[in-house]
Structure 1
Amino acid sequence: MHEIVVAGIGPGHPDYLLPAAAKAIAEAKVLVGGRRALAQFAKGAGQKTMAVTRDIAAVMDFIRQETETAEVVVMVSGDPGYYSLLDALRRHFPVTKLRVIPGLSAMQLAFARLALPWHEARLLSFHGRVPAEKELLYEKGSLLGMLTDKKNTSKTISAVLMAHGWPKETRLFICARLSYADEKIVRTTLGEAGDLPEISSGILIAVDEEGFDAARTR
């Protein structure tokens, strides 16, 4: 069995792709990834590809078959260690056969855009899931980073947090299309977010005012 290289491709724009990942992708004989990633990075002739779909079992079967004769490169958005296909790969293949190339996550980029340290942040995902109740509870001085999706959006998540004790005055940053030319960051509050245009598939950062004072730059 040949090696499986799991390459983080960053938040989207090629400028944020690590050189090690770019090299692995360019040299890959077999390349697996989302349709958008394949359209962006696949080289065409001579490179065998498969798009990742909801049929994860079929993707794993394809990888298993191809690793009999060649190394397989699997592209994942952001960083492989943060809510990616890496979990499934670990369940289906020996860890010794996985080589992971890290990437810049959209979460990291969101905090960077705000010049806000994130070492004390609580990170949650509403992307295809709902966090446990205890993870949503308000704590004074909290800093919360959240992945969103088309169902769990800037409007619905704001309402959920307020229902779990977060003050309506809590500072909220709504980050969308990070790294792209049409990148957008909306600065508002939990209480005001419900009256603004709904934004999905991005990053939300909620900051309790007391904990935000020391880091306020804007």
Structure 2
Amino acid sequence: MAVGWVKVVGVGPGSPEYLTKIGERVIGEADYVAGAEELLKTFAPDKKHLSFGEFGAVLKQIKDLSRSFNIALLLRGDTGFYSLLRKIERENPGLVTEVIPGISSVQLAFARLKKLWDGAAFYSLHGRALPEKLKDEFTVHVFLLGEKIDTSSLKQLLQKHGLEGASYYLLYDLSYPEEKIIKLSFADLPPELSGRGILIAER
């Protein structure tokens, strides 16, 4: 009996234009494609789908099917940067055969701003609480947004670290037609931050 594989494919910020050639090839070679429904419709409309619902159940399904079939597991952005790869490997060690990295929204954000990001500190607020403190040795702070971020608490944290005078950039829906990039001041930060966005504070 043939033994299949499970390959994690980073599909970039969301637009098919940012899918790598090798990622496209792996998706084409897969018998099944797993991932969020939006990604399945965008990147593998003609494949057999394993849509993320109850994540543990989907992982078990992937594990069972991989005994005979090839499965591409799609993750948005960079597979090694705040991704589900950590949870997959923790719950099913050895399941993943290969990881195909993609372009992260962070890479695209700094490219859009024409700035370097090798001196930036990163904080994910996607399903996570605000950090207790920021890394003061960095001059650029990058916040990956999630659902309904409390701007009041975030501003208190920024004030605590002397970032009232920083330049702020709010980037939403990168790579999508509705992409929006706004430069603003500390005082102009909106009362609520949410969605597929990134907030960058540059001292």
Normalization by structure 2: what TM-score?
0.89
1:146 equivalent to 2:148? Answer no
Contact 2:12 2:76 in 1 (8 A): yes
Offset, 1:177: 0.8
Identical aligned pairs, as a percentage?
Answer: 31
Asked if residue 173 in structure 1 is aligned to residue 169 in structure 2, the reply is yes
Runs of 4+ in structure 1 deviating by more than 6 angstroms, as ranges, are none
**How far apart in 1 are the matches of 2:186 and 2:44?**
41
One-letter amino acid of the structure 1 residue matched with residue 10 of structure 2:
G
- The residue aligned with 1:202 is 197
Note the alpha carbon deviations across 1:94-113, whole angstroms, 9 max, x for none. 44743000000001111111
1:101 to 2:96 alignment = no
Partner of 2:68: 69
Q: Indicate how the Cα distance of structure 1 residues 169 and 56 shifts in structure 2: closer, same or farther if over 3 A, else same.
A: same
Q: Does 1:33 align with 2:35?
A: yes
1:51-70 paired onto structure 2 within 5 Å:
51-53=51-53, 55-70=54-69
Q: CA deviation at 1:146?
A: 1.3
5+ residue gaps, structure 1: 209-218
Deviations 1:80-123 (A, max 9, x none): 11122211221233447430000000011111111111111101
The CA deviation at 1:199 is 5.1
Structure 1 position 28, deviation (Å):
1.2
**1:167 to partner: Cα distance:** 2.9
Query: Could you tell me how far apart the structure 2 residues matched to 1:51 and 1:20 are?
Result: 22
The number of aligned residues is: 201
- Greater share of residues in helix: 1
**Conserved? CA contact 2:30–2:71, under 8 Å:** yes
**Which residue of structure 2 lines up, in the alignment, with residue 88 of structure 1?**
87
Counterpart amino acid of residue 16 in structure 1: Y
- Label 1:76 to 1:157 Cα distance change in 2 as closer, same or farther (>3 A): farther
Distance in 2 of aligned mates of 1:185 and 1:92: 37
Instruction: Say if 1:88 and 1:119 are closer, same or farther in 2 by CA, change over 3 A.
Output: same
Task: Give the Cα separation in 2 of the matches to 1:199 and 1:5.
Answer: 31
Point out where structure 2 has 5 or more consecutive residues left out of the alignment: none
